[in-house]
Amino acid sequence: MLSVDRVEKSYKKGGLFSKERQKVLKNISFECQQGECLGIIGESGSGKSTLGRLLLGIEKPDRGTVLFEGKSIEDRKSRLGNISAVFQDYTSSINPFYTVEQAMMEPLKLQGMVKQEARSKIDLLLHQVGLNSSYRIKYPHELSGGEAQRVCIARAVSTEPKCILLDEAISSLDGSVQIQVLELLKSLRKIYHMGYIFITHDIQAAAYICDRVMIVRDGQIEEMVMIEQLKDVQSAYAKKLLQMIIA
């Protein structure tokens, strides 16, 4: 489904006229299969969120390719309705002047869905994420953090994409709410048969939801391992990162 081949990315370092560049991603190659939940784990500054932006087509790699079902992710048609995203900052993910219904209507309109059909779908989606129809008329400031993130998830699911990229999507939530959202993501994955790219620094959350994890360090893939084989990681860095859940 998603194929990343020898991707590299760097940014300008220093002042406006500086020619120095800092390489953030170095020779990244991997594949994510249809319906798979792949965790991308790394500490702050490891390059995982930069990789996320490349996977969404928000930024272009300096070198290498990112393909979605054989087509470049930079081609808007290849990703429209096929790949969605949920970000860490739910407060800026929803227009503060939009009601929940208006925010959720946007991706459905892009797919050409008629208003009445879209409204019925919004009711269904809200129910699936544990919110009732009364939330349709609420504004973002009237929602708790957990409720706002549920709305963001419902909106991401609305086009029934083949893949949702979740970039630190639970890290701003309280512990008990995190568990609820992870359970929600598990159930939605079964309903819609979609895959996830789960970007996080939280190895426990990744172990709970993912099929496979890719450990990233200093812009490179340190190790790739199936969840059932977490105890068998080879590198010292991966072992250190995994200590908290292997105990």
Model pLDDT for residues 124-177, shown as the tens digit of each residue: 999 999 999 999 999 999 999 999 999 999 999 999 999 999 999 998 888 888
- % the chain with pLDDT above 70: 98
- For residues 29 and 54, is the Cβ–Cβ distance under 8 A? no
Q: Is residue 19 part of a domain?
A: no
180 burial level (CB within 10 Å; 0-12, 13-18, 19+): middle
C-alpha to C-alpha distance for 138 and 70, rounded to whole angstroms = 40
In whole numbers, what is the pLDDT of the chain averaged over residues? 91
Does a structural domain hold residue 125? yes
Is there a domain that residue 20 lies in?
no
Say if 158 falls within a structural domain: yes
Reported pTM = 0.91
Cα–Cα dist 215/206, whole Å: 11
Domain count, the chain: 1
| Confidence bin at 123 (pLDDT 50/70/90) | very high
DSSP state of 5: E
Q: State which residues form the domain around 188.
A: 2-14+25-246
CA 152/CA 37 separation, integer angstroms: 19
- The DSSP-derived string for 72-135 is ETTSHHHHTTTEEEEES-HHHHS-TTS-HHHHHHHHHHHTT--HHHHHHHHHHHHHHTT--GGG
Residue 225: inside a domain, yes or no? yes
118: CB partners within 8 A, 6+ apart: 105, 108, 109
pLDDT digits (tens, 9 = 90+) for 71-104: 999 888 888 778 999 998 877 888 999 999 999 9
Cα separation, 38 vs 169, whole angstroms: 14
What strands, in cross-sheet order, belong to the sheet with 37-41?
83-87, 163-167, 195-200, 37-41, 212-217, 220-226
CATH number at residue 219: 3.40.50.300
